[in-house]
């Protein structure tokens, strides 16, 4: 009984529907909400309040399969949240999952007290009339874009931090790196030591933290490679350092790469996938964003 109450609280912000047979999203919404006009249903999609398996979906003809979960947000706060550096892609009573743009700090540091994802979300919750605030679970570098999550209470924060390896089962990034990758796939293992302004890598255990990164080369062209990376450990600057170790630094990385190699005007690193078991309900949560458009453009054929 208690477990059902917990699940109910987590779902309180959504109306849930479950797909039993293959059909397009608009057709499914019409079957579940026969009183709603087609214009109303299109409005729900355009306002980004329809989720398919926890991912915002705006495509009216998105193909649904049996077993998928469709949710419609009842929470006005998400619709009223507008910030060019941060998007809310999921929220319930315990969590907020966001997509952070490059250039925005996740949280403030002793040296940097500027505007952060953390205080933007705290202002949003305060405006919405809610008393809770967000609690930091993990971070993305300022110049890295992509998906990250925050807890909405201390207990959920502690659960996530203390059980991160068991809760998060898939975490992936995509990067544009310099040169043609020699291998289609591989693993980089080293020990990293943080000296505040720079992270040093050693191929042998020198007292640093063990770091493991798995990579897969997606595309090569125009002197660059598009690489998908899966983290087995989550150390500071891990991907950037490991790509430097391979001799293929991330494009736009002035610290671990080449300062003058910056055709995109940004660090070409994006956290595109985050999959975890909900820390309270135990449900599988899967979030994914497309590769950034400018990452793909760098491979377009030159005239």
CA distance 290 to 270: 10
Q: Which residue among 141, 143, 245, 253 is the active-site one?
A: 141
For 140, the token pair is: 């993305």
| 49, 74 Cβ separation under 8 angstroms | no
Instruction: Read off the tokens for 62.
Output: 């998105």
Q: What distances in angstroms separate CA 252 from CA 17, 84, 131, 221, 265, one per listed residue? A: 43, 21, 40, 17, 7
Examine the residue annotation and report whether 141 is marked as an active-site residue of this protein: yes
Enumerate the β-bridge partners of residue 221.
224
Nearest by Cα to 52 from 94, 74, 19: 19
The catalytic residues are 141
């Amino acid at each position: 009984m208690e477990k059902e109450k917990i699940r109910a609280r987590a779902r309180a912000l959504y109306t849930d529907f479950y797909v039993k047979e293959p059909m397009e999203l608009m057709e499914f919404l019409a079957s579940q909400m026969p009183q709603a006009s087609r214009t109303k249903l299109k409005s729900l999609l355009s306002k980004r309040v329809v989720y398919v398996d926890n991912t915002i979906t705006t495509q009216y003809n998105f193909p649904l399969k049996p077993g998928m979960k469709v949710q419609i947000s009842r929470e006005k706060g998400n619709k009223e949240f507008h910030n060019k550096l941060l998007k809310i892609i999921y929220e319930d009573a315990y969590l907020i999952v966001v997509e952070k743009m490059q250039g925005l700090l996740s949280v403030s540091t002793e040296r940097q007290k500027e505007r952060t994802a953390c205080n933007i979300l705290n202002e949003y919750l305060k405006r919405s009339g809610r008393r809770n605030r967000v609690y930091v679970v993990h971070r993305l570098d300022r110049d890295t874009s992509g998906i990250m999550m925050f807890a909405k209470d201390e207990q959920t924060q502690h659960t996530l931090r203390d059980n991160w390896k068991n809760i998060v089962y898939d975490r992936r990034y995509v990067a544009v790196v310099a040169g043609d990758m020699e291998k289609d796939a591989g693993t980089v293992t080293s020990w990293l030591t943080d000296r505040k302004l720079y992270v040093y890598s050693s191929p042998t255990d020198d007292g640093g933290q063990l770091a493991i990164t798995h990579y897969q080369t997606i595309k090569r062209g125009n002197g660059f490679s598009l690489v998908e990376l899966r983290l087995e450990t989550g150390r500071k600057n891990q991907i950037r350092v490991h790509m430097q170790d391979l001799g293929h630094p991330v494009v736009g990385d002035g610290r671990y790469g080449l300062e003058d190699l910056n055709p995109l005007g940004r660090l070409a690193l994006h956290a595109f996938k985050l999959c975890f078991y909900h820390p309270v309900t135990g449900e599988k949560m899967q979030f994914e964003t497309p590769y950034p458009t400018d990452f793909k453009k760098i491979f377009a054929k030159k005239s």
